[in-house]
């Protein structure tokens, strides 16, 4: 296997954190500001006061869970709680504790063997971004006028800017008019708060590359790239990769792309993508009739899911995914069940814990790096934004301890067995609402079987002669080998045999 992704990614257990909602620390110098009550329902514009010192103070919790890498939603100065509206790319938001808090988090995380990947928003900035604001003030007199896509009539003051749209501009945008003419500049998805960079401008490219280099030199372990395909320029991402890797050859570069991504995964741009192409069939199969389509369809990328699927269709879709890319890409993918951009998995399946447990077992035995969204391990639910971005409840009486124990056990199983991380993958069975596969490395083979049905199911799969496998996770009965491995799996459960 030719490795282009960092070798450590295959062994990583990621944990995604939305910084405003994970943990507050009294150490934050802004702790005297007025924030929303921590346990109150999340709002679109409100701040709970989570910070990076708070993340650092909870590293022991994460280490005990088995986490080896963090993916943080954006942390740079911004006037939004999600911080995808970047004001200043060179400074950590003071509400998160500033640069000192990131330095402290990196130092403490690295001491515990936990890597930290940051969210890079390089397609668009914000209305408060200095260079953009400079043009709003100075028009065509600004030396930054080619940093974004501007309407010439606004640049020459023949028309007013619509950066904060009035009724007329809102009506134009709602009617489908492009933001360039409706408000005077190109914006991501025509959202006035998100002016899109003109990455054809050499000064813009150099600025963004320098930002990427700056934080890699600071000590971060990689970049998750927001809406990466919106920068429709292979040469941009090729140079981005070259400059990041020149500083840290082990830096992980993973892109937010929701569909097949051959173009970007040739080894010269991204190491991997957030693997929503696996998330979708996982939700459809393991839900087994528990899908809440009203909740699921709050995320437009899930509109193609209309019902649960059977084991055979699931197996075919997994085979398709496994065949899409070279093995080194497949084994570096970021696999996830949910994120800040989706309803939480539990809400998508009507709160059914068995669906979540089955999906976890699959994810932690599947090639690629599994990523837990903060709080899923203790049973957090939530519909689409803002409800999928609730504050983490540090009152342990609110935790689902059984679910937490289940997650810890699965993570430990993956970490203790290289075959579950690096082994070959083989489909074994896909019928009667049961899907089974094997992971093999050297002379070690695991058989993983998942029964989504409401009744026990007996299956028989090909197996090496002379082996007498036993369950190392979950339950199976009537295990018998007569040239094939035969066993019975309880309803709505999974088992790992070795």
| Contact assessment for residue 201 and residue 146, using Cβ atoms and an 8 Å cutoff | yes
DSSP string, 432-487: TTEEEEEEEETTEEEEEEEE-SSS-EEEEEE--TT----EEEE--EEEEESSEEEE
Which among 57, 93, 221, 256 is annotated as catalytic?
256
For residue 256, indicate whether it is catalytic. yes
CA 424 to the chain's CA centroid: 24
| Contact assessment for residue 465 and residue 433, using Cβ atoms and an 8 Å cutoff | no
| Contact assessment for residue 149 and residue 196, using Cβ atoms and an 8 Å cutoff | yes
Of 447, 449, 448, 453, residue with least CA distance to 432? 453
Rounded Cα distance between 258 and 273, Å, is: 8
Could you give the 3-state DSSP secondary structure of residue 320?
A: helix
Rounded Cα distance between 279 and 416, Å, is: 25
> Is the omega angle on the peptide bond into residue 386 within 30 degrees of 0, that is, cis?
yes
| Contact assessment for residue 216 and residue 246, using Cβ atoms and an 8 Å cutoff | no
Q: For the chain, how big is the Rg over CA atoms in Å?
A: 24
Report the side by side order of strands in the sheet with 369-373: 272-273, 252-255, 222-225, 115-120, 69-72, 14-17, 369-373, 334-336
The tokens of 22 are what?
């994970």
Rounded Cα distance between 211 and 377, Å, is: 34
How crowded is residue 156: how many other Cβ atoms within 10 Å of its Cβ?
Answer: 12
| Contact assessment for residue 87 and residue 77, using Cβ atoms and an 8 Å cutoff | yes
For residue 395, indicate whether it is catalytic. no
Write out the H or E segment, with its range, that includes residue 409.
Answer: helix 401-416
| Contact assessment for residue 114 and residue 68, using Cβ atoms and an 8 Å cutoff | yes
Which among 119, 226, 383, 433 is annotated as catalytic?
226
Number of C-alpha atoms within 13 angstroms, CB side, residue 174?
7
Residues designated catalytic: 226, 256
């Amino acid at each position: 296997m030719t490795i282009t992704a960092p070798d450590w990614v295959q062994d990583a257990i990621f944990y995604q954190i939305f910084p405003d909602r994970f943990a507050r620390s009294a150490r934050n110098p802004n702790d005297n500001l007025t924030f929303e009550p921590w346990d109150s329902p999340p709002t679109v514009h409100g701040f709970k006061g989570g910070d990076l010192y708070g993340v650092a103070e909870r590293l022991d919790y994460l280490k005990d869970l088995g986490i080896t890498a963090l993916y943080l939603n954006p942390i740079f100065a911004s006037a939004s709680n999600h911080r995808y509206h970047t004001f200043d790319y060179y400074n950590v938001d003071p509400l998160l504790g500033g640069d000192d808090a990131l330095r402290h988090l990196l130092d403490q995380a690295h001491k515990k063997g936990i890597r930290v990947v940051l969210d890079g928003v390089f397609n668009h900035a914000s209305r408060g971004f200095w260079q953009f604001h400079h043009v709003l003030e100075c028009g065509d007199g600004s030396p930054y006028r080619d940093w974004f896509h501007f309407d010439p009539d606004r640049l020459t003051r023949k028309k007013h800017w619509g950066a904060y749209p009035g009724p007329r501009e809102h009506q134009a945008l709602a009617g489908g008019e492009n933001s360039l003419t409706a408000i005077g500049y190109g914006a991501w998805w025509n959202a006035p708060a998100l002016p899109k960079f003109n990455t054809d401008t050499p000064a813009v490219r150099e600025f963004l590359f320098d930002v990427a280099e700056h934080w890699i030199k600071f000590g971060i372990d990689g970049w998750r790239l927001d809406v990466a395909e919106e920068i429709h320029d292979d040469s941009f991402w090729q140079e981005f990769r070259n400059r990041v890797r020149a500083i840290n050859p082990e830096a992980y570069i993973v892109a937010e792309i929701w569909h097949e991504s051959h173009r970007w995964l040739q080894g010269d741009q991204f190491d991997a993508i957030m693997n929503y192409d696996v998330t979708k069939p996982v939700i459809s199969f393991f839900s087994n009739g528990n899908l809440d389509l009203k909740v699921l369809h709050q995320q437009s990328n899930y509109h193609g899911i209309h019902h649960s699927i059977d084991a055979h269709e699931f197996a075919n879709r997994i085979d398709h995914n496994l065949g899409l890319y070279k093995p080194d890409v497949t084994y570096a993918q970021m696999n996830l069940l949910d994120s800040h951009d989706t309803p939480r998995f539990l809400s998508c399946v009507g709160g059914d814990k068995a669906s979540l447990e089955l999906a976890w077992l699959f994810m932690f035995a599947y090639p690629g790096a599994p990523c837990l969204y903060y709080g899923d391990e203790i049973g957090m639910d939530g519909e689409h934004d803002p409800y999928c971005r609730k504050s983490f409840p540090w009152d342990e009486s609110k935790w689902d301890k059984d679910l937490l124990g289940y997650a810890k056990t699965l993570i430990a199983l993956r970490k203790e067995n290289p075959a579950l991380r690096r082994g070959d993958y083989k489909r074994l069975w896909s019928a009667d609402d049961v899907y089974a596969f094997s992971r093999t490395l050297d002379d070690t083979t695991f058989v993983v079987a998942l029964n989504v049905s409401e009744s026990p199911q007996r299956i028989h799969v090909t197996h090496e002669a002379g082996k007498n496998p036993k369950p190392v996770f979950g339950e199976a009965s009537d295990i018998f080998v007569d040239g094939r491995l035969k066993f019975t799996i309880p309803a709505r459960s999974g088992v790992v045999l070795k």
